[in-house]
């Protein structure tokens, strides 16, 4: 992977992690366009690294919220912050179970499976379109809601299903306030990404034995900077109920990807 390919893929990750158009799906499409010949494990490693960059950008944007949550936990008493942290933990459970039990199967999906990506982008588009039509309320995230949104996040492991799109759309369809839905969606992924990185380090997957470190550094930097801008933009878009525009984009890119995948070579 060249310097420019890594930079472009990093920027794609940074933008699409927060914008509801599937970061993993766009990374796979980008790798296919560039003709990336890395093995699935190496391809997944790059994906994990740039996801870590967007997790860091999330921490920067929501640093005050995160500090409040940590403060609530350290006080060892029931309050709004401690309850919110418990909801975050509940939302992590489905994706954590899927990640642990089906790690090898998930890795195999990150190998430029354009037909799968295109199909899942269509599903993402449908979710966004339905969510944009939902009535806005001031409802907060309940413990049951946290579990349901967590299941949506687990499904979004599939390349082409937007994690932010799936979790925010599910939250809005459950009647949760749009601003709270966006905040919960972005905060709930941080522990999972950090946990995934920790698991890979313990498993020896991030030793760098088969990967040139330069593309990882470049990709990380591009994803982090782009993620800072995209996160702020996405919060505004969710508040103003403008998700339908991204649904049209997902429909278009998904249809093109499917057409390319089934086209005779």
57-113 confidence digits (pLDDT tens): 988 988 888 887 777 667 666 777 778 888 988 998 998 888 778 777 777 766 667
Higher pLDDT pick, 37 / 217: 217
So what's the pLDDT on residue 161?
A: 87
Q: Which two tokens stand for residue 33?
A: 């366009």
Task: Delimit the domains of the chain by residue range.
Answer: 3-262
At 115, phi and psi to the nearest 5? -65, -45
Segment among 121-125, 182-186, 208-212 with least mean pLDDT: 208-212
Q: Average pLDDT, whole number, for the chain?
A: 81
Q: Are 237 and 243 in contact (CB under 8 A)?
A: yes
Segment among 118-127, 183-192, 196-205, 235-244 with least mean pLDDT: 196-205
Exposed e or buried b per residue across 17-44, where buried means at least 16 C-beta atoms within 10 angstroms of its C-beta = bbbbbbbbbbbbbbbbeeebebeeebbb
Angle at Cα 158 formed by Cα 157 and Cα 159, nearest 5°? Answer: 110
Angle, to 10 degrees, between the axis of helix 213-239 and the axis of helix 40-61?
50
In this prediction, residue 182 has a pLDDT band, given cuts at 50, 70 and 90, of confident
Q: Are 253 and 85 in contact (CB under 8 A)?
A: no
Q: What pTM does this model have? A: 0.78
Statement: residue 252 has pLDDT above 90: yes
């Amino acid at each position: 992977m060249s310097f420019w390919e890594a930079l472009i893929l990093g920027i794609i990750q940074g933008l699409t992690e927060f914008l509801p158009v599937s970061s993993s799906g766009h990374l796979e499409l980008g790798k296919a366009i560039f003709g990336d010949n890395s093995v699935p494990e190496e391809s997944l490693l790059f994906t994990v690294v740039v996801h870590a960059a967007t997790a860091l950008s999330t921490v920067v944007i929501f640093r005050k919220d995160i500090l409040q949550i940590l403060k609530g936990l350290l006080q060892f008493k029931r309050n709004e912050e401690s309850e919110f942290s418990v909801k975050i933990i509940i939302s992590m459970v489905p994706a954590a179970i899927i990640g642990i039990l089906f790690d090898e199967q998930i890795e195999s999906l990150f190998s430029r499976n354009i037909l799968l990506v295109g199909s899942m982008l269509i599903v993402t588009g449908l979710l966004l379109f339905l969510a944009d039509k939902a009535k806005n309320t001031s409802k907060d995230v309940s413990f049951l809601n946290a579990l349901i949104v967590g299941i949506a996040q687990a499904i979004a492991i599939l390349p082409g299903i937007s994690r932010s799109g799936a979790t925010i759309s599910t939250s809005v369809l459950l009647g949760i306030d749009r601003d709270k839905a966006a905040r919960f969606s972005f905060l709930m992924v941080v522990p999972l990404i950090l946990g995934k990185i920790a698991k890979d380090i313990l498993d020896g997957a991030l030793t760098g034995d088969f990967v040139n470190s330069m593309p990882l550094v470049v990709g990380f930097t591009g994803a982090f900077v782009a993620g800072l801008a995209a996160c702020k933009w996405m919060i505004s878009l969710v508040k103003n109920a403008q998700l339908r525009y991204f649904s049209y984009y997902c429909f278009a890119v998904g249809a093109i990807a499917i057409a390319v995948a089934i086209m005779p070579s």
